[in-house]
Structure 1
Amino acid sequence: MKSDKKVSRRNFIKSAGVGAAAFTIVPRFVLGKGYRAPSDTLYVAGIGVGGKGESDIANFAKSGKAQIAFLCDVDDRRAAKSVAAFPQAKYYKDYRKMLEKEHKHIDAVSVSTPDHNHAVQALAAMQLKKHVYVQKPLTHDIYEARILTEAAKKYKVVTQMGNQGASGDGVRQLMEWYNAGLIGDVHTVYCWTDRPVWPQGIPWSTQKGVVPKELDWDLWLGTAPYKDYVEKLVPFNWRGWWDYGTGALGDMGCHIIEPPFRVLNLKYPTDVTASVGSVYVDEFKRGYFPESGPPSSYIVLTFPERNGKPPVKLHWMDGGIQPQRPEELGPNEKMGDGGNGVIFVGTKGKMMCGTYGILPSLIPTSRNAEANVPQTIKRVPMGAEGHYAQWVEACLAGYGKMEVSSPFEIAGPLTETVLMGNLAIRSQDIRKPIPDQPNRFDYPGRNIKLLWDGENMKITNFDEANQFVKREYREGWKLA
C-alpha cells in the first residue's frame, strides 16, 4: 500500500473495513515470513527521549518486538537524535496531551525525565492501563514510590525500573554463593560511589539565564516550585538540587544497593544515621546551602532480622569516600570496580562486586577457583542488556504472565530505602534559631538516629524529618 499521507493504525483498520480485534489477532504465518502481527508488537511512547531516554527507546526497538510510536520531550535539542532515529513516531512536548490524544494507540510508556517528574508521568500512564518502564530512581520521594508500587498491582500493568544490573549475571552469581553458605550470614555491607560528578553543596545562581527557544521551561519544571531558568542546570546538573534531583545516592543507589537488597532479601530499614561533608564559603565560615545536596555523605541503614538471618548494617559512602580496604584483598587488586562497589561481610567470609553487580568475586579472590557452586538461578538472556527486551516480552505476554527483574514490587521498596538516606541527609540542614543568640542556630537533625516506621512511612522520633517523605507539588500538579 502506497500513500503520500501517514496512515494511523486506527485509520488503516477503518478504511480496510475490519475491526480492531480482527486486526490484532492475525497469525504470523498468514502475513508470511519476515512480517510481524500487530499483536506481537509493543507500541511504545517515550517520555523524555534525550540522553538516557534516547538509549532506552533504542534498546526497546533493538528487541525486534517494539515499535517506537510516539516521542515526547520538553527540549527539542535533546530529542533531536530520537526524532531522526524514529521518523515515523509522532512528536509531542507535553506528555499529558500525548496520553490524552494517543492513548488508544499506545501499549507501553517509557519515562526517562528528571527525577521530580517520574511519579506523575508514570502514574498517568498506569491509570490508562499502560505498561511502564521508569528510569532510576523510581521516584523523587518515598511517598511517590509507595504510590507507584501500589498502582502496579491496582492497574495490573507490567513494570520495570531502569536499573539494568538487576538483570545481570553478576547479582545472580552473588545470590548463588550466598545461598550456598560460602560467606555465612551477612551482617555488614559497604556500598560506595565516586559520584557526584556534578556541582553540589553550592548556592543557587543569582544570574537569570535566557531560556533556549527549544526548551519549554515551565513543562520542564513540572511539579517543582517555579524558579527562573539558570544556565547549566539542563540537561545534567539538576541532579545536585533537591527540587529536581536526588543527589549521588539517588543517581547511583539503585544500581549499587540493588545487589545486597536482592541477595539478602532486605525490606524496609528500621533506622538511619547520616553525616555529610562541609563546604566553606571562606576560611572560617561553613556554608549553608539546603537547596543542594552535600559534596559527600556517609549513611548507615539498619535492616531487621529476616527469617532467622541476623540484622544488617548497610553503609553508604559517596563523594569519593570509600570503606577500609579488606585485608584479604591483594595490594594491587581492584576493590569493586574502582570508583564504585559493594562489599558483603559475612560470618564465614566476604564477597564483593562493582556497579550493577559486575565483577562478582569472593575475598580473597583465590577462593573464586574453588567456588564450584551449581547454577540455580535462571539467567536473563543477554544479561543486563537484556533488561529492555525482558520488559518488552513481559508486556506482550501480559500482567502476571512473565517475570521481570525489577518490577515495582521490588524497585519500589529499593527506591524507598535509597530515599531514606536522602531524608537523613536533608535532616542535617534543618535549623532553628537559638534564643537570645543572634545569628546562631541549632541543628536538631544532626547527631541523632532517625527511627523509621516503614509500613506507615514515618520517622517516629523527629517529626521535622517527615517533610522529606512527601513534598508539596507546584499548583496545577498533583499525583492523582
Structure 2
Amino acid sequence: MKNKSLQNDSRRDFLKKGLMAAAGFYIVPRHVLGGPGYTAPSDKLSIAGIGAGGKGESDIMNFYGGGRADIAYLCDVDDRRAAKMRAQFPKAKYYKDYRELLDKEHKHIDACSVSTPDHMHAVIGMAAMQLGKHVYIQKPMAHDIYEVRMLTEAAPRYKVVSQMGNQGASGDGVRQLVDWYRAGVIGDVSEVYCFTNRPVWPQGIQWPTTKGTVPPELDWNLWLGTAPQKDYVDNLVPFNWRGWWDYGTGALGDMGCHIIAPAFQVLELGYPTEAECSVGSVYVGEFKQGYFPDSCPPSSHITLKFKGAPGKPDVKLHWMDGGIQPERPDELAPSEIFGDGDNGTLFIGTKGKMMCGTYGRDPNLLPTAKSKETVVPQTLKRVPGADITGHYTAWVDACIAGYGSEQEKELSSNFRVAGPLAETVLMGNLAIRSYDFRKPGTGTGRRGEWDYPGRHIKLLWDGPNMKITNFDEANQFVKRTYRQGWSLGV
C-alpha cells in the first residue's frame, strides 16, 4: 500500500510539474512566440461578415486592415456578390442564410458585421445580439423607427458592443466643428441645412410590370426576407433597391446619417418634436403627374424641429435631396465650393457660420480664411486613424475590451448615440410617406386640372412613445409588418 501511495504521489508530482511547465510555456511573451507585430489569437476578433459585396466588401476590408480582426465567416444571399471576398478569405466558411450561420457557428463567432439592404438590418442584428455577439450595422441602422428603438434597447440588455456604419462620426472634422461651437466662435445655432445630390438611382417611378428571371446565384426568397412577397424584377439587385420603400429608405436613409450626424454631435440633439416636408413631382408623358407610392420621391425638402440643448435655442434642421441646395452663404467666395459640392452641412449661428462636406470632412468657418486663424481648445478626444478606418478599428478594439469598457463608452456611433440619429432620419421618411398618403383623384392629369393636391402635413412627434400625436394614419409607417415566417424576436 505504501509503495502504491508513493507511486500515486509521484504521478501527482509528475502531472503537477508537467502542468506548471505547460503554464510556463503559455506565458512566454507574445513577441517571442510570433515575432514583432504578432497578434495572439486571443487578441483577435472573430467576425462574421453578413453581406459580403458592395458596402459589405469595404466594411470587411476595413475591419481586416486594422490587424486585430479575423474574417472567419462570410454570408451573402448572392454568390456573385460574395465571390471577391471568398477569394480574398478562402479559409472563411461561407453561408447563404444568416440563420444557418448563427445556428451552426455562434460558438466560434465574436461579432457580426451587417451590410445588407436596409429591410434586413434589424432581424439580423437582433439575432446576433441575442446570441451575445457584438454588432456593426450599416446606416441607417434599420428600416423603420420601431426597429431602431428595439436595437438600441437590446445592446445594453445583451451587453454587446455596437456601432452604426456612419464612419464620419469618428472623423476629426466633426470634432473640429464641436470645438469651434463649444468655444462660442459662431454663437448659438438655431438653424442647420443638410443637403445631398442623392438619389443617384431611380426614384419616383412605377414598379416594373415585367417579371424577370432570377439569376441562379441569387436566393430571391432570402433576399426578400422580411419584405412582402413579390416576383423578381430586373435592375433591383444589387443597388436600385434603395429607391423602393419595401427595401430601402431613399436618399435620406442613404446619406442622412452621414450628413445630419455633425449637427447631432455639435448641437447635442435628441428626438425631433415636429416634421414636415414637400416632395418633387414626377411627370409621365407631357403633362401627366405620376403617383407611385411604392417608390421614394425624386427629391424632397424636410424640416425637423428639436428642443435645444440646456441653455441653447431650439433648432430647425432642413434636409434637402435630389440636388436641391440652400442659398449659398454670402461669406463664401464665388469660386469656393459649398460643402463638398454635392453634399454638405451648414450651421447658421448668431455670430457666424460654419460648414462641412460629407462625413463632416473639410470643416470650415465662414469666411473660410477664419478656419486657420481661429485656434480653440480641443474638447473632444480624436479617434486614432480617423476619417474612415478609425471608425472600424475603434469598434474592433472596443469589442475585444468588452461591453462597458472605456473603449466601448467612447465609440462615436454606438447605439446610444446612433439610435436617436437613425430615428430622426427615418422620421423624415415618415413625413414623406404621410405627405403622399392620399391617392390621386379622377382628374384628367392636364395642367390645372389635376385634382390630387398632396398634403403638406406638420407631424407632431412623441419621441419616447414613438407616436405621431396629430395624424394617426402616419403611425402605420412607424412599424411595418413582416412577411409571414419572419420576426424581430422581441
Question: TM-score normalised by the shorter chain: which range applies?
Answer: over 0.9
Matches for 1:413-432 after TM superposition, within 5 Å? 413-431=420-438
Matched, 1:294 2:294: no
Cα deviation digits, residues 59-85 of structure 1 (max 9, x gap): 111111110000000000000000000
**Offset at 1:25?**
8.7
- Following TM superposition, by how much is the alpha carbon of 1:287 offset from its aligned partner in structure 2, in angstroms? 0.5
Q: Is the 8 A contact 1:340 1:354 kept in 2?
A: yes
Per-residue CA shift, 1:332-365, capped at 9, x if unaligned?
1110000000000011100000000001000111
Letter of the structure 2 residue corresponding to residue 367 of structure 1 = K
1:115 to 106, 114, 118: 118
Contact 2:48/2:112, CA 8 A, preserved across alignment = yes
Q: What is residue 12 of structure 2 aligned with on the other side?
A: none
Instruction: Indicate how the Cα distance of structure 1 residues 232 and 437 shifts in structure 2: closer, same or farther if over 3 A, else same.
Output: closer
**Separation of aligned partners in 2, 1:211 and 1:23:** 56
| Gap change, CA 1:174 and 1:476, over 3 Å in 2 | same
CA–CA separation in structure 1 for the residues paired with 2:27 and 2:210: 58
Cα gap change, 1:231 to 1:437, in 2 (>3 Å): closer
Deviation, 1:23, is 12
2:114 and 2:135 in contact (8 A); partners too: yes
Deviations 1:414-465 (A, max 9, x none): 000000000000111111687x999999879712211000000111000000
Question: Taking structure 1 as reference, are residues 460 and 27 closer, same or farther at Cα in structure 2, changes over 3 Å only?
Answer: farther
* Residue of 379, 389, 404 corresponding to 2:393: 389
1:478 aligns to 2:478 (yes or no): no
Q: Distance in 1 between the 2:153 and 2:454 partners?
A: 30
Look up the match of 1:7.
Answer: none
2:92 is the alignment partner of 1:85: no
Structure 1 position 223 matched with structure 2 position 232: no
Q: Which of 455, 461, 468 in structure 2 is aligned with 1:452?
A: 461
- Judge conservation of contact 2:277–2:432 (CA < 8 Å) in 1: yes
How has the CA–CA distance of structure 1 residues 378 and 204 changed in structure 2, closer, same or farther, with 3 Å as cutoff?
same
Q: How does 1:59-208 map to 2 (within 5 A)?
A: 59-208=62-211
Q: For residues 355 and 24 of structure 1, do their structure 2 counterparts lie closer, same or farther at Cα, with a shift above 3 Å needed?
A: farther
With 398-407 and 233-242 compared, the bigger mean Cα shift is at: 398-407
Cα distance 1:442–1:98, how it changes in 2: closer, same or farther (>3 A)?
A: farther
Query: TM-score normalized by structure 2?
Result: 0.90
Give the Å deviation of 1:31: 3.2
- The change in CA–CA distance for 1:419 and 1:445 in structure 2 (over 3 A counts) is farther
Instruction: State percent identity of aligned pairs.
Output: 72
Partner of 2:4: none
The count of residues paired between Structure 1 and Structure 2 equals: 460
Structure 1: how far apart are the matches of 2:87 and 2:254?
Answer: 28
Q: Aligned in 2, Cα 1:445/1:460: closer, same or farther, shift over 3 Å?
A: farther
Q: Which residue of 2 aligns with 1:364?
A: 367
Aligned pairs (5 A) from 1:370-385: 370-384=373-387, 385=389
Counterpart-to-counterpart distance in 2, 1:454 and 1:229: 37
**For structure 1, which segment, 302-311 or 463-472, has the greater mean C-alpha deviation from structure 2 after superposition?**
302-311
Decide whether aligned partners of structure 1 residues 356 and 25 sit closer, same or farther in structure 2, where only a CA change above 3 A counts.
Answer: farther
Structure 1 residue aligned with 2:217: 214
1:5 corresponds in structure 2 to none
Corresponding residue number in structure 1 for 2:352: 349
CA–CA distance in 2 between the matches of 1:32 and 1:272? 57
Which residue in the other structure is 2:7 paired with?
A: none
The residue number in structure 1 matching 2:475 is 466
Equivalent residues of 1:126, 1:151 under 8 A apart:
yes
C-alpha displacement of 1:368: 1.5
Q: Please say which structure displays the higher CA radius of gyration.
A: 2
SS in 2 for 1:315: strand
Q: Please provide the CA RMSD for this pair.
A: 2.2
Q: Does 1:409 align with 2:416?
A: yes
Contact kept? 1:24, 1:38, Cα under 8 Å:
no
Is the 2:305–2:317 Cα contact (8 Å) retained in structure 1?
yes
Query: Which amino acid in 1 is paired with 2:481?
Result: E
Amino acid at match of 1:414: L
Structure 1's consecutive aligned runs of 4 or more residues displaced over 4 angstroms after TM superposition are: 21-27, 436-445
The one-letter amino acid paired with 1:188 is E
Query: Contact 1:428–1:443 at 8 Å: present in 2 too?
Result: no
The structure-2 alpha-carbon separation of the partners of 1:177 and 1:73, relative to structure 1 and needing over 3 Å to count, comes to same
Mapping 1:283-362, distance limit 5 Å: 283-362=286-365
CA displacement at 1:116 relative to structure 2: 0.2
SS of residue matched to 1:383 = coil
- 2:14 maps to what in 1? none
- Structure 1: how far apart are the matches of 2:91 and 2:68? 16
Contact 2:269 2:308 in 1 (8 A): no
C-alpha distance in structure 2 between counterparts of 1:437 and 1:377, whole Å: 58
Tell me which residue corresponds to 2:15: none
1:22 CA displacement: 12
The reply to whether residue 398 of structure 1 matches residue 402 of structure 2 is: yes
SS at match of 2:150: helix
32-41 or 325-334: which moved more? Answer: 32-41
CA distance in 1, matches of 2:327, 2:296: 24
Counterparts of 1:47 and 1:23, CA distance in 2? 37
Q: Which runs of 5+ in 1 are unaligned?
A: 1-16
1:57 aligned to 2:64? no
CA shift at 1:30, angstroms?
A: 6.7
AA aligned opposite 1:73: D
Alpha-carbon distance in 2 for matches of 1:88, 1:25: 28
